[in-house]
Every structure is written in C-alpha cells, then in structure tokens.
Amino acid sequence: MEQAGTQGDGLKDVRDRIDAIDLELLSLISERARCAQQVAQIKTAADGQRVQFYRPEREVAVLRRIKAANAGPLDGEEVARLFREIMSACLALERPLNVAYLGPAGTFTQAAAIKHFGHSVQTFALATISEIFREVEAGSCDFGVVPVENSTEGVVSHTLDTFMTSPLRITGEVSLRIHHHLLSVVDQLCMIRTVYSHQQSLAQCRGWLDRHLPNAERVAMGSNAEAARTAATEEDAAAVAGWQAAEIYGLKVLAERIEDEPGNTTRFLVIGPQDAPPSGEDKTSLLLSCRNQAGGLHALLTPLAAHGISMTRIESRPSRRGIWDYVFFIDIMGHRDDPKVALALESLKQSSLLFKVLGSYPVAVL
C-alpha cells in the first residue's frame, strides 16, 4: 500500500528516478554483456581450442580502475564487489568456469572461491586438498581454491606440501576475514556436550570455548561444514563454523563471533594450469631449498636483497628427502617477467638446490 502523508510525492519522485536509473543500468549491463560475447568470438578466432576466456590480469585491471574512479557515496570495496559480479556474469556468458574447493558446501573455502570469481562460476565441493589438485591437474575443473595460511594458526601445511610434487601454478590469492559462530539445533549453551569443528577453528576459538564450554568435548572434523552437518543431527552438540554453514544445515546461532583474535584472516590460493600474466601489481611464490650448511639460507636470499625485491612471506617445511633437509616457500613482490625479478630469480636458481616458481599472480583487489 502507498505511504500517505509527509513522505507522499517526495518519496514517489525519488522512487520514479530509481526505477528509471535501474532501466538505464540494465541496458548498459546488457550492452557490456554483448561486448563480452564479442570478446569471446575474437578470442576463439585467434586461439581456437587453446582459448583462455578467464583473464585474471584483465579482471584486476577493471576492478582497480573502478576503485580509483569511484567518487562515492558507495565505498570502493562495495563498488568493486558489484563489478566483480557483473564480470562474473559476463564471463559465464563466454564460458562458465568450474571451480573446485575444499567442501562440503558452506566452508570458508567456498566463500573465498565466490569472493574471487563471483557467483556465476560453478563450484564443486571436494573432500580433500589432494583431490582438488588432482581434479585441476586432470582438467575436469578449471581452477581450485585451497587454504594456505591463517593469521592465528599459521600455515596449512598440506597445501604447501602438495605443491612440492604438483605441476599446477598459483594464479591468484584471496584473503577472507573469518568469523566463527557457535551453531546448534538447540538454543541453550548448557545442553552442549560436544563441539565439532576443523582443528584450526577449534584452536582459533580456544579461549572462548575454555570460558563458556569448559566441559564439552572438542572433536576435530575434516571441515567446519562437515562439523555443522554432524551437529545438525545431534541434540546435545554444536559446531564452530561460519554463517553459510548455519544457513545450509539449518542451525541456530548460539553465539556470534567467538574467535579469540578479532582480525582473524585466512589466505587462500587459486590454483590452475598456468599462472597469470603481469597486471602491474603482482606477487610471485617460490619453492626453494639450499645446501645444509652455515649461512645457507642467507646466501639463498642475498639475490633478493641485491635486486631490491621485497619478500612478504617465508615458510620452511621438511622436504622429506632427509631429516636435515628443508624447503622454503617464499613470496616476493613483483611478477616473474618484471626485469628486476627475472634477474633475481636467475641468480636464485644458481644458488639453490631446488628451485621452482609456483606462480606469479595479481595482488588481490577485494
């Protein structure tokens, strides 16, 4: 029913304007989608079977340009998110992408996949990180999304270990603010005897669980979503998971944001058959190992300092070739095709026993 009184004509006028703007937006979005269809024809004519519809370096260029041009009142992130979805729909017109993620549905990895690719991709829930690598290697999925590090609990070692033997490349990164909630079919905390979650999430909420559920048994599961699915079938259990899992498995939120660290962030990697061309603001991930001798790591890193390249992360893992042998996962700023980075990589290659470029990819916009 129409609002009477003071809102009257003023409200109707503005709503009429909004309706007219929406029609203009629709016609512009449709025109943009037709352009994407033309791009697809041009790409197919040029590259035939080997055509790459998804262009990560172009996508970040579009988003960076929009963010820079934005004059408000909407926030830059907000505007970029809208354009993320428009591009996702345009790409799906060219060819829908298949993206594998660590399932089941409702995990933070699925949220990361959608944040990176938008809602128009087809996502496939797989049970393990190894399976995701396998499906992308086999070509049954175009890309995979895997967790790699968490700001409270550190690295997801399985992901790093799998890179040692996989031919796949890193084509993108996604950072996601993680909020954990306590979910259950019951609505009283005193009824909870068991708390299910992934071991990293249990660790991230340890303080809260110690204070509020000191006597409940904590049971580690393969994923938060699996924990939510299990908790949905038990009258005295709860799961620690995100709101997506609450929605999917029909659970109530007993307590919100129970993570101990307010800035809790998880970083995910996008993996695919190739890495990304330069975008102007990129990172490169490397896998290296050095001789087991005094000053070995220092010597390994000297070429980076010598060429003025900044390192954003270094992680060491046992190589499994001998008990004293370690490999290093290193992230640096810049693309492997940047002349300065290319020179540094060349000398790194000379000084390391094992040298593998895992990929160059754009610094995330969202």
Ligand X SMILES: O=C(O)C(=O)C[C@]1(C(=O)O)C=C[C@@H](O)C=C1
142: contact with ligand X by CB under 6 A: no
Among 90, 102, 112, 330, contact with ligand X (rule: CB under 6 A): 90
Stretches 11-19, 85-93, 286-294, 307-315: which one binds ligand X (CB under 6 A)? 85-93
91: contact with ligand X by CB under 6 A: yes
Tell me how far apart the alpha carbons of residues 354 and 327 are, in angstroms, rounded to a whole number: 8
Site for ligand X in 185-244 (CB under 6 A): none
Smallest distance, Å, CB 103 to ligand X? 24
Q: Which is nearer to ligand X, 43 or 313 (CB)?
A: 43
Tell me how far apart the alpha carbons of residues 102 and 115 are, in angstroms, rounded to a whole number: 15
Find the helix or strand (DSSP H, E) in which 11 lies: helix 8-47
Token output for 27 = 């016609």
Smallest distance, Å, CB 109 to ligand X? 21
Stretches 89-97, 153-161, 230-238, 257-265: which one binds ligand X (CB under 6 A)? 89-97
Tell me how far apart the alpha carbons of residues 275 and 140 are, in angstroms, rounded to a whole number: 18
Stretches 23-31, 87-95, 129-137, 249-257: which one binds ligand X (CB under 6 A)? 87-95
Residues in the chain: 366
Q: Which is nearer to ligand X, 39 or 164 (CB)?
A: 39
Crossing angle of the two packed helices 76-94 and 56-69, in degrees rounded to 10: 150
Residue 224 identity (one-letter amino acid): N
Among 63, 66, 87, 168, contact with ligand X (rule: CB under 6 A): 87
User: Which residues does residue 84 pair with via DSSP β-bridges, in sequence order?
Assistant: none
Among 39, 191, 297, 363, contact with ligand X (rule: CB under 6 A): 39
By CB neighbour count within 10 A (0-12 exposed, 13-18 middle, 19+ buried), where does 365 fall? Answer: buried
Q: Which is nearer to ligand X, 32 or 356 (CB)?
A: 32
Query: Cβ–Cβ contacts within 10 Å for residue 60, how many?
Result: 23
Q: Which residues are CB-contacts of 183 (< 8 A; sequence separation ≥ 6)?
A: 228, 231, 238, 239, 240, 241, 245, 246, 249, 251, 252, 253, 254
Q: Which is nearer to ligand X, 58 or 257 (CB)?
A: 58
Smallest distance, Å, CB 150 to ligand X? 28
CB 178 within 8 A of CB 229: no
62: contact with ligand X by CB under 6 A: yes
Smallest distance, Å, CB 52 to ligand X? 8
Interface with ligand X (CB under 6 A):
36, 39, 53-55, 58-59, 62, 87, 90-91, 94
